[in-house]
Amino acid sequence: MPYQYEKDGAAIYLESFATIRAEAALDRFAPDEEQVVVRMIHAAGLVGLEAHVKVAPGMVAAARDALKQGAPIFCDAYMVSEGVTRKRLPADNDVICTLRDSRVPDMAAQLGTTRSAAALELWRDRLEGAVVAIGNAPTALFHLLEMLEDPACPRPAAIIGCPVGFVGARESKDALWAANPVPSLIVEGRLGGSAITVAAINAIASRAE
């Protein structure tokens, strides 16, 4: 017996986003922020996520402008980089994850940190004006903040800081929000992850739903 269900992809998206906008508390977000938060909720399947999302003033505009100017997107994990929808990128932007670089294991050992954190050291020469997306490793976000404490370190245009987990995730995001080195977006607490981070990137890259 055939099941009765919606088979039109466009219709599914329309109904999904309409449901989110009907049920979520989005009033505190500016229009460009709302579009990003809606896609994050959609990726998580969680109305209520919006209560934990914090977006610095001008963050969406800063990230969107950077991408339009051709800035690269640096990602802490391949689950993030592989999720970016290339056709949404406005300038055929490079999407970069350095986690598998052969130099990373030795760097991690020398620095006494995780590979996810050490891999960020390979971003320095292209970090200026870039968009950074941390969706997996709190150690990567902490290391980025340590890098940015150096006045000589190039500054990205914006940071999406949404690492997930039970050890360091909350603390790393709180630290990013408190330090405010550049306009940032975070999901407070333990929530976060690659899918939510990718949704934010894709929404910033293109307003199309």
* Amino acid at residue number 24: A
Q: Are 118 and 94 in contact (CB under 8 A)?
A: no
Q: pLDDT 10s digit of each residue in the chain, 209 long? A: 789 888 888 898 889 999 999 999 999 999 999 999 999 999 999 999 999 999 999 999 999 999 999 999 999 999 999 999 999 999 999 999 999 999 999 999 999 999 999 999 999 999 999 999 999 999 999 999 999 999 999 999 999 999 999 999 999 999 999 999 999 999 999 999 999 999 999 999 998 87
pLDDT of residue 9: 83
**Inside any domain, residue 161:** yes
**133: closest CA among 59, 205, 190, 77?**
77
Q: How far is CA 4 from the centre of its chain?
A: 36
Check which CATH number belongs to the domain holding 172 and give it. 3.40.50.10230
pLDDT of residue 121: 97
**Inside any domain, residue 7:** no
Choose the catalytic residue: 42, 115, 170, 173. Answer: 42
**Inside any domain, residue 124:** yes
Sheet containing strand 95-96, strands side by side: 53-55, 184-187, 158-161, 131-134, 73-75, 95-96
Alpha-carbon distance of 194 to 80, in angstroms, equals 5
The answer to whether residue 42 is catalytic is yes
Please tell me what DSSP assigns to residue 189: T
**53: closest CA among 67, 34, 80?**
34
Which domain range does residue 126 map to? Answer: 52-205
pLDDT of residue 7: 85
pLDDT of residue 155: 97
Domains held by the chain: number = 1
pLDDT of residue 165: 93
**Inside any domain, residue 92:** yes
Q: How far is CA 51 from CA 38, 39, 40, 45, 46, in A?
A: 12, 14, 12, 14, 11
State pTM to two decimals.
Answer: 0.95
